[in-house]
Amino acid sequence: NVQPPEKPLQAEEWNRLRESFRSPEIFEEVMFNSMVRCNSPIDVAKSLLTHVAKSNGDIAYSLLVKYLALCVQQGQTSEIRDMYDIMKIRFKILESGAYNLLIKGLSNSDQWRMALTLLEEVKKIMVPSRTNYESCIKAASRHQEMNLAFELYHEMLAKDLVPTLDVLQAFFDFSRGMKGAELQKELFGILLYLRENQIYPHKTFMRSIKLWFESIPGGNWRGHLTNIKDSGQCPVCNHQLEDSDLTEEEYNNLRERIIRDVIHGTDTFRKTSPQEFEAFQTFVENRFPFDIVIDGLNVSHIKPRKMQCENLFDAVNCLAKENARLLVLGRKHMLINSSNWKREIMKEMQNKADFFFAENISEDDAFLLYATLRSGKHCKFVTRDFLRDHKACLSDSLTRHLFRKWQRGHQIVFSPSAEGKHINFLPALCYDCVVQTTGDTWHIPYKDAFEEKYSYRVPRKWLCIQQK
């Protein structure tokens, strides 16, 4: 709300400005903020600092940091160094804000090694932020010190800091055209990191990966952008992508965890009751394996204009092909004849599929997961729910990743394009949408935009890289 002056001012001119300001006690703060916002010349800021120093005999830390921010913004390296010296003399330790600025400012200059020493200094008092590491890693790789960069990268992973996509991209950008088996291994390591954490690179990042592959001396790598067929085959290299099946061990693990964390949680009574869950377990044991498990209530809302039981009826008919064994999960209120639930239609459906009706206040989703997992790998489930709340119940990220992987391969969703009278379903992906390799090929799914809104949506576009 105040416009910083364009030229350095004399003490009395600053005084005059200050007096005319609404609340003079915060005048300097406000002025510095607007200087940073307007990117004022540092001479102006200096003249204000001089005025403050002369009238108070001291300059507050917060003002120094703001001035530092201005210097960093304009890349004034010598000034940043000076600031560091001054602050070190004046204060025993600095706080993270100043360190962030110093590291950021110096890492972008020819004195980038100084940023590394500052990083060491930060480590003594706290855990550096991921942007601290980002600055240092970028600086090191910009100067072709890839070993140093990777050392910092591993250090940051060991501290449970999540690297930004920017840092990962920087590795690919700055390694372009460089030789070395060790370096290659590290970069493959990053791709595997993307795989393990189910991260999808965005378009520009993908391009960096592609360019790096193609630049490996003597590597003969070629990259193509493509869409994978529904069958899971890559149209470029005809390679069949991995399926999203879990191993036996992972499968059992996931099932145990679903029972423990999602169904029981802190209190079994919150989602069901022990008697009910036991009854459900025996029910499933007696009739499994199912081929498709349907969330009855969820499906019954697909078309809001139709009667709910009609929706469910259509869905069951649509899915009950080729003697597939269906299980429909519902709640007891569906059995009471009402305007939305007609007894005759319910009767007819029960001839085509098995039904389990939970208590009206129980959560049927948890049963859905259990029944599907119990039936085995081939079993799919139908719901429009993204199951995010259930995923969130799982206590560690590894299991959550397993859950996501399993969900990608086993969830059948209602096809949104089907506006017609009939209900259509999209089959679950038969390949796994994740970074994958066979040694001489790499397949990397990527997002179009940097920030895609929905985390549950898997990308459809792929980068296929193969070695000739």
Residues in touch with another protein (CB under 8 A) = 8-11, 29, 43, 46-47, 49-50, 52-54, 57-62, 65, 82, 85-86, 89-95, 97-98, 125-127, 266-271, 273, 360-361
Q: Which is nearer to another protein, 266 or 323 (CB)?
A: 266
Q: Which is nearer to another protein, 18 or 287 (CB)?
A: 18
Q: How far is the CB of 62 from another protein (least distance, A)?
A: 4
Query: How would you class 275 by CB atoms within 10 Å of its CB: exposed for 0-12, middle for 13-18, buried for 19 or more?
Result: exposed
Q: Which is nearer to another protein, 271 or 443 (CB)?
A: 271
Q: Which is nearer to another protein, 58 or 182 (CB)?
A: 58
Q: How far is the CB of 233 from another protein (least distance, A)?
A: 41
The 10 Å Cβ neighbour count of residue 205 is: 23
Phi, psi of 7, deg, nearest 5: -125, 160
What is the Cα–Cα distance from 431 to 230, expressed in whole angstroms?
A: 8
Q: Which is nearer to another protein, 264 or 408 (CB)?
A: 264
Q: Which is nearer to another protein, 59 or 237 (CB)?
A: 59
Q: Which is nearer to another protein, 214 or 276 (CB)?
A: 276
Q: How far is the CB of 230 from another protein (least distance, A)?
A: 34
Q: How far is the CB of 451 from another protein (least distance, A)?
A: 21
Residue 117: which residues within 8 A CB-CB, separation 6 or more? none
Residue 123: which residues within 8 A CB-CB, separation 6 or more? none
Contact predicate 368/223, CB 8 Å: no
Q: How far is the CB of 431 from another protein (least distance, A)?
A: 36
Q: How far is the CB of 65 from another protein (least distance, A)?
A: 6
Q: Which is nearer to another protein, 8 or 232 (CB)?
A: 8
Q: How far is the CB of 270 from another protein (least distance, A)?
A: 4
Question: Nearest to residue 283, comparing CAs of 328, 336, 343?
Answer: 328
Q: How far is the CB of 81 from another protein (least distance, A)?
A: 12
Q: How far is the CB of 361 from another protein (least distance, A)?
A: 5
Question: Nearest to residue 413, comparing CAs of 298, 336, 255, 308?
Answer: 298
Do the strands 380-382 and 411-414 form a parallel or antiparallel pair, or are they unpaired?
parallel
User: For residue 158, what are its two tokens?
Assistant: 């060991």
Q: How far is the CB of 224 from another protein (least distance, A)?
A: 43
What is the Cα–Cα distance from 271 to 252, expressed in whole angstroms?
A: 22
Q: Which is nearer to another protein, 98 or 258 (CB)?
A: 98
Phi, psi of 345, deg, nearest 5: -65, -40
Q: Which is nearer to another protein, 269 or 450 (CB)?
A: 269
Q: How far is the CB of 463 from another protein (least distance, A)?
A: 35
Q: Which is nearer to another protein, 91 or 456 (CB)?
A: 91
